[in-house]
């Protein structure tokens, strides 16, 4: 089962780049090919995530390279019960959003680029769910939000560009908070692996640095998720 995990990241990422290449050949034909490819990939991801439900937890070491102390250096993808639920949620919403967009996106040009951005967004979201260490959560979260910045501005009208600009500014602020929180935890624990960070934090006294890191995560992730009162960008971006 663990060998399936990289496919949730690699498959839509590869599809996104192929869609972009298709757009360079022909905007019309490229859009049709990209649509079919995006539907197949999204459907496979949904079926794969459903197939993982109820399976035992597993860890996949990227490149087969775990570190001697269980992941100071090695990068891991982790699939447990909570991850399975989130994978199904992300890929189900992605699949049905893609189906809805087939008719909606017809009024835009550059449709292949839309499917490229959509698949990159999906790849980033799956990677955030599966990543076993904090820094990769940050990296893949940035991959997904950069794609979403472009998707918000996709129609390149005044309102869309204004909404995307606001989203970029506030998203950059939220990224700074998240990165600061990760840096604080790394300074406290010497680890980025989430399981090891949790173990180290359980053995130290909860001091101001821990509370500051928690506050940074609440502000950073709350702003990215548009949780009230961090939702200023949402009303403009979602329409």
Q: What are the tens digits of pLDDT across the range 189-220? A: 888 888 889 888 888 888 899 999 999 999 99
Asked if pLDDT for residue 70 goes beyond 60, the answer is no
Query: What is the model's pLDDT at position 110?
Result: 77
Contacts of 194-203 spanning 24+ positions with Cβ under 8 A: 194/78, 194/132, 194/133, 194/134, 195/71, 195/78, 195/132, 196/70, 196/71, 196/72, 197/134
Q: d(Cα 53, Cα 149) in Å, to the nearest integer?
A: 31
Query: What is the model's pLDDT at position 71?
Result: 44
Asked if pLDDT for residue 137 goes beyond 80, the answer is yes
Query: What is the model's pLDDT at position 25?
Result: 65
Partners of residue 131 on adjacent β-strands: 77
75 DSSP 8-state letter? -
The residues, any chain, with a CB within 8 Å of residue 84's CB and separated by 6 or more, are: 49, 52, 53, 54, 55
229 DSSP 8-state letter? T
Query: What is the model's pLDDT at position 131?
Result: 93
Mean pLDDT (the chain) is: 87
| Cis peptide upstream of residue 229 (ω within 30 degrees of 0) | yes
Q: d(Cα 134, Cα 132) in Å, to the nearest integer?
A: 7
Give pTM, 2 decimals.
Answer: 0.89
**62-66, 99-103, 135-139, 141-145: lowest mean pLDDT where?**
62-66
Query: What is the model's pLDDT at position 21?
Result: 81
**57-71, 86-100, 178-192: lowest mean pLDDT where?**
57-71
pLDDT confidence of 169, banded at 50, 70, 90? very high
The residues, any chain, with a CB within 8 Å of residue 90's CB and separated by 6 or more, are: 49, 122, 125, 126, 129
Query: What is the model's pLDDT at position 27?
Result: 56
pLDDT confidence of 156, banded at 50, 70, 90? confident
CB atoms within 10 A of CB 180: 17
Q: d(Cα 197, Cα 210) in Å, to the nearest integer?
A: 12
Q: What are the tens digits of pLDDT across the range 216-227? A: 999 999 999 889
Of 177 and 105, the structure prediction assigns the larger pLDDT to 177
Q: What are the tens digits of pLDDT across the range 23-66? A: 666 655 567 788 888 999 999 999 999 998 888 888 888 766 66
Mean pLDDT within 58-83: 73
Asked if pLDDT for residue 68 goes beyond 70, the answer is no
Contact yes or no for 182/135 (Cβ under 8 A): yes
């Amino acid at each position: 089962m663990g060998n399936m995990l990289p496919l949730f990241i690699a498959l839509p990422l590869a599809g996104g780049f192929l869609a972009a290449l298709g757009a360079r050949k022909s905007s019309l034909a490229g859009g049709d090919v990209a649509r079919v490819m995006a539907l197949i990939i999204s459907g496979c991801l949904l079926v794969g995530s459903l197939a993982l439900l109820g399976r035992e937890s597993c860890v996949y070491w990227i490149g087969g390279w775990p570190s001697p102390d269980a992941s100071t250096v090695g990068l891991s993808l982790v699939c447990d019960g909570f991850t399975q639920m989130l994978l199904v949620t992300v890929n189900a919403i992605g699949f049905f959003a893609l189906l809805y967009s087939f008719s909606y996106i017809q009024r835009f040009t550059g449709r292949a680029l839309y499917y490229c951005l959509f698949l990159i967004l999906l790849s980033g979201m799956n990677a955030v769910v599966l990543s076993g260490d904090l820094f990769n959560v940050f990296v893949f979260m940035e991959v997904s939000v950069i794609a979403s910045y472009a998707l918000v501005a996709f129609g390149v009208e005044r309102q869309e560009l204004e909404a995307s600009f606001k989203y970029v500014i506030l998203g950059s602020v939220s990224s700074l908070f998240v990165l600061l929180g990760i840096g604080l935890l790394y300074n406290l624990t010497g680890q980025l692996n989430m399981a090891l960070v949790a173990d180290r934090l359980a053995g130290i006294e909860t001091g101001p640095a821990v509370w500051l890191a928690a506050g940074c995560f609440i502000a950073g992730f709350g702003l990215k998720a548009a949780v009230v009162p961090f939702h200023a960008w949402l009303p403009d971006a979602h329409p």
